[in-house]
């Protein structure tokens, strides 16, 4: 069975559009939530790839949240050495960046990105994202530096580092391509207090921008995930 390991950080988390696309491509999703005690596999031999999603905690919480320490260690000792495709979303990207020796920190003016914001594709990112700028959904107060020996793929205004690749198969995305309209409704309801913070868009604009930009992200995501997983298949066949 072709399956993808999905790591989430709350028992109510939803892999959203990423999960939908992977299932449409015939992948079984093995969903684990270390925050509630789920164990992580000690080998990725049974998986085509791994997606690590976001969460309200910080990649720097390893001194207070044991599961964050465990995930950092697991990425370093299991995920990366396996050479399986790795995709980190928001917190998942920040965990990857930390493992690779890069700094994760809040914006110096304590500004958030919550809502839809444009990102610019770097020359190195055009094979993965195309040439045109994209408007992507964000929900974060921290950002990552680009790790050594990694390539910046996209940049932004408030948080300059929006995507990077390490090697051929490990990707970190600061934004949330998995977002659906239903997830925006849930997030802006459960975390309505976050919408009062500097840098947050009001709820009605998030829905409006999703209607404008969500379709382009959905089209990109299908092509990206297909290519991302094909990288492992091509390596195995070589």
Distance CA(79)–CA(144), nearest Å, equals 19
Digit-coded pLDDT (tens) for 135-160:
999 999 999 999 999 999 999 999 99
Digit-coded pLDDT (tens) for 82-121:
999 999 999 999 999 999 999 999 999 999 999 999 999 9
User: Mean pLDDT throughout 28-40?
Assistant: 97
User: Which among 177, 210, 212, 207 has a CA at the least distance from the CA of 22?
Assistant: 177
Distance CA(89)–CA(175), nearest Å, equals 7
Distance CA(106)–CA(81), nearest Å, equals 29
Distance CA(200)–CA(42), nearest Å, equals 39
State the helix-helix crossing angle for 181-190 and 203-237, rounded to 10 degrees: 120
pTM: 0.95
Sketch the domain layout of the chain as residue ranges. 3-237
Cite the DSSP H helix spans in 51-202: 66-74, 80-82, 91-99, 126-129, 181-190
Q: How many CA atoms lie within 13 A of 148 on its CB side?
A: 3
Q: Across-strand partners of 138? A: 115
Instruction: Indicate the class that CATH gives domain 3-237.
Output: alpha beta
Q: Residue 1 above 90 pLDDT? A: no
Distance CA(189)–CA(205), nearest Å, equals 14
Structure-token pair, residue 125: 């990112």
Neighbours of 201 (CB within 10 A): 20
């Amino acid at each position: 069975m072709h399956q993808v390991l999905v790591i989430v950080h709350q028992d109510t988390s939803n892999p959203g559009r990423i999960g939908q696309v992977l299932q449409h491509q015939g992948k079984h999703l093995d969903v684990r939530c270390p925050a509630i005690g789920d164990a992580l596999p000690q080998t990725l031999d049974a998986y085509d790839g791994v997606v690590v999603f976001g969460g309200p905690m910080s990649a720097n919480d390893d001194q207070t949240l044991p599961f964050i320490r465990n995930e950092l260690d697991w990425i370093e000792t299991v995920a990366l050495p396996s050479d399986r495709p790795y995709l980190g979303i928001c917190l998942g990207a920040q965990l990857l960046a930390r493992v690779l020796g890069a700094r994760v920190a809040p914006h110096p003016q304590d500004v958030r990105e919550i809502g839809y914001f444009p990102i610019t594709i770097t020359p190195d990112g055009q094979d993965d994202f195309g040439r045109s700028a994209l408007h992507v959904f964000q929900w974060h107060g921290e950002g990552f530096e680009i790790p050594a020996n990694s390539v910046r793929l996209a940049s932004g205004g408030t948080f300059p580092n929006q995507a990077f690749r390490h090697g051929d198969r490990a990707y970190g995305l600061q934004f949330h391509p998995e977002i659906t309209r239903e997830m925006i409704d849930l997030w802006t309801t459960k975390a309505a207090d976050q919408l009062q913070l500097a840098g947050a868009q009001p709820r009605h604009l998030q829905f409006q921008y999703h209607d404008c930009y969500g379709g382009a992200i959905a089209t990109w995501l299908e092509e990206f995930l297909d290519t991302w997983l094909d990288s492992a298949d091509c390596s195995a066949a070589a």
